[in-house]
Amino acid sequence: MASSASDTPRIGITTYLEPTIWGVWERDAALLPRVYLDSVVAAGGVPLLLPPVGTDPSVLDVLDGLVIAGGCDVDPGSYDAVPHPETVGTRRGRDEHEAILIRAALAADLPLLAICRGLQMLNVTLGGTLQQHLPEAVGHDEHRPSPAIFGRTDVKIDDGTLTSRLFGDRTTVHCYHHQALDRVAPGLQVTARAGDGTVEAAEVTGQAFALGVQWHPEENPDDLRLFTALVDEALRRRTR
């Protein structure tokens, strides 16, 4: 890991922009669950927040890695689909913001970790589509058991992938989502699935480190493998 503060890899993380209440104030605010920040710091990086306002891809010039965070449903208009009744709370501005950053990161071969909604945005940005309400496809609610309750999903991983180098052939993960990948985008290789067939991880072919996972690694502080791998790759890229 980095030996001094100046060497510490800088990891950008996309944020929400939501109506928020704190103290006597009720205003829109850029926010992000602290678990993302703690995970980056514990892995040896320094987190920098990237709110969906004033998007400029040149911000990536000061970053060593990028995390596309989880959050709200992706707007079906992003992939030319009609909204499902269960698709709610979309934020088109955030979709556009993250799509710009994803394209710029891939063009620069910047280490990229896309989490839950982030994997969905990665797929949509590259030309894929989403299953808007997963329970209709798999016949159960185990990927999002109830409001604010994470599910536990067993994942089978393909050999010979970055995902398998980090986790082996199987792992159990924290999940909370009702949307998932449907048509997989060109250039995106599925590397892990749940037992019901749901895509749980995918990698961008031809990139040194561009990995998306449908689960929430930030919710398991005892397993920092994804964040550590991102920070380590960011440090390698900087030294190159």
**Which residues touch 54 (CB under 8 Å, ≥6 apart)?**
none
- Of 118, 117, 75, 119, the closest CA to residue 93 belongs to 75
Residues assigned a catalytic role:
116, 216, 218
Pairing outcome for strands 65-68 and 112-115: parallel
Question: In tens digits, what is the pLDDT along the chain, a chain of 240 residues?
Answer: 334 456 899 999 999 999 999 999 999 999 999 999 999 999 999 999 999 999 999 999 999 999 999 999 999 999 999 999 999 999 999 999 999 999 999 999 999 999 999 999 999 999 999 999 999 999 999 999 999 999 999 999 999 999 999 999 999 999 999 999 999 999 999 999 999 999 999 999 999 999 999 999 999 999 999 999 999 999 999 887
Tokens of 135: 């329970």
Neighbours of 196 (CB within 10 A): 14
Q: Which helix (H) or strand (E) holds 106?
A: helix 92-108
Backbone angles phi, psi at 98, to 5 degrees: -70, -35
Give CA–CA dist 195/204, Å, rounded: 23
Contact, 162 vs 192, CB < 8 A?
Answer: no
Tokens 């269960």 locate to 86
Name residue 70's amino acid.
G
The domain 5-239 is classified under which CATH number: 3.40.50.11390, 3.40.50.300, 1.10.760.10, 3.40.50.880?
3.40.50.880
pTM > 0.85: yes
Give CA–CA dist 76/129, Å, rounded: 8
